[in-house]
Chain A
């Protein structure tokens, strides 16, 4: 039985919560019928720092790993068309398995903690990034490739200097979806003791209380919005030719 140690590890943050909740010295935090307790929020906002950083680390690592793998698979499948259907099916299966189930299916291999969280979340991003990269490369008009060939570019140069730059809008669109959904799903890594903002919603094997859940959810959604805007800006900056013609 791993449970007691496991729950203690998960409950470090949650444990604090309940201590402070039951002390009765802080205003209104113990009543779960309060929708939002500003006084408690003001006094306790600092407790969200560490979970936010953990959350960010997990998301960034997962998306970077997912992107590298999916991008490599997409380039491979771009060269060898016969790989496209099986790769789409394989990434589709990974995308379909619910993340919580996936965490625990990996338990015998990678155990509790951050490694498992990152593997699952990275696997989750594969499909959307892979599919959009393939789509972006396929959307490059043949005439453009012919022109590049006529100018004497090799196939490799055509890929890196013509096809990939033209595919940036689709690739970044896929990346945006991947990042935003990974930020939301990363709240679930609390179930395998990998920390993150989920700990402020569900700690010590119990749900916390409305104020804390709302603060944590707000941080998650703000983080998603911020990343989305940053990537949108990156997309604009890397495709200056798209700005000339109104979309």
Chain B
């Protein structure tokens, strides 16, 4: 019994909305709308928390290094190395070494988001024309307002690209967070002997939809944040 029947998709949709019988819970029903919603919210919570930590660490660092033109090897090297980190190992190590729960999982997921945000912020700021920065300096702007009011706005498309990658990798990895005791949507997938095949597929459908929704919202946010002047130039 290697493949599931195609009709399982119907079962999965049903599972999301109405509780189903399970083989192992002794008559208790599993799944259903309330459970699905609970897991979606938990998934979003851990993703948002991890993304916030990654932003707090990586955004200022990337802006500073990019502004000073320093640490290219560090920023870009870190970004490349970050891609090679196996997500499963991060979650597994945190669970077996440090402990389970939101407090350990969120910082662990944040590690995966730091690399894309750092490298994109750095590259975005470095791409700003030196003449533009000189002009701002000539107008009497302080270094910190050059970063905030000139470099960051001009780098927004690249920075947001990094934030979107970070959000997706964190959201994707949050799927295996149940291994470290955080009940995200991955619970439906990993505890397949409790939830059955319908639960398995339901989890996959919900995770995929959530990822597409987050990616779509961040793309919209990017358009809102990009200054109108930049849009005219690139259009």
Using CB atoms and an 8 Å cutoff, list the residues of chain A in contact with chain B: 1-3, 5, 7, 32-33, 35, 93, 96-105, 107-113, 177, 180-181, 183-185, 187-188, 190-191, 197-198, 201-202, 207-210, 213-214, 216-217, 220-221, 224-225, 228
| A202-B172 in contact (CB<8A) | no
Using CB atoms and an 8 Å cutoff, list the residues of chain B in contact with chain A: 1-6, 8-9, 23, 80-81, 83-89, 92-93, 95-97, 168, 171-172, 175-176, 179, 186, 189-190, 192-193, 196-197, 200-201, 203-205, 207-208, 211-212, 215
| A180-B211 in contact (CB<8A) | no
* Chain A contacts for B81, CB-based, 8 A: 221
Instruction: Report 28 cross-chain contacts, Cβ distance below 8 Å, ordered by A residue.
Output: A1-B193, A2-B1, A2-B2, A2-B4, A2-B197, A98-B211, A100-B204, A101-B203, A101-B211, A102-B208, A104-B200, A104-B201, A107-B8, A108-B6, A108-B201, A109-B3, A111-B2, A180-B84, A188-B87, A197-B86, A198-B86, A201-B88, A202-B88, A202-B179, A208-B92, A217-B93, A224-B83, A225-B84
Q: How far is the CA of A168 from the CA of B60 in the complex (A)?
A: 34
| B205-A3 in contact (CB<8A) | no
B1, B95, B175, B204: most-surrounded residue (chain A CB, <10 A): B204
* Chain B contacts for A220, CB-based, 8 A: 84, 86, 89
* A37 CB to nearest B CB, Å: 13
Complex partner residue of B88 from A112, A113, A190, CB under 8 angstroms: A190
Complex partner residue of B93 from A33, A99, A104, A210, CB under 8 angstroms: A210
Complex partner residue of A177 from B83, B190, B215, CB under 8 angstroms: B83
List the 4 shortest-distance A-B pairs measured between CB atoms, nearest first.
A98-B172, A111-B3, A104-B204, A224-B84
Complex partner residue of A108 from B8, B85, B176, B208, CB under 8 angstroms: B8
| A98-B192 in contact (CB<8A) | no
Q: How far is the CA of A110 from the CA of B212 in the complex (A)?
A: 23
| A1-B23 in contact (CB<8A) | yes
> Per DSSP, are chain B's interface residues mostly helix, strand or loop, or mixed?
helix
* Chain B contacts for A191, CB-based, 8 A: 176, 189-190
A111-B2, A180-B83, A188-B87 given; A100·B179 CB < 8 A: no
* B206 CB to nearest A CB, Å: 8
A98-B208, A101-B211 given; A207·B92 CB < 8 A: yes
Complex partner residue of B172 from A100, A177, A187, CB under 8 angstroms: A100
| A184-B87 in contact (CB<8A) | yes
> Per DSSP, are chain A's interface residues mostly helix, strand or loop, or mixed?
helix
* Chain B contacts for A5, CB-based, 8 A: 1
* Chain B contacts for A180, CB-based, 8 A: 80, 83-84
| B88-A188 in contact (CB<8A) | yes
Q: How far is the CA of A184 from the CA of B112 in the complex (A)?
A: 12
Determine the residue in chain B with the shortest Cβ distance to A190. B88
* B179 CB to nearest A CB, Å: 6
| B175-A98 in contact (CB<8A) | yes
A98-B172, A104-B203 given; A32·B84 CB < 8 A: no
* Chain A contacts for B23, CB-based, 8 A: 1
Complex partner residue of A32 from B1, B96, B196, B212, CB under 8 angstroms: B96
* A193 CB to nearest B CB, Å: 9
A100-B204, A101-B211 given; A213·B96 CB < 8 A: yes
Determine the residue in chain B with the shortest Cβ distance to A32. B96
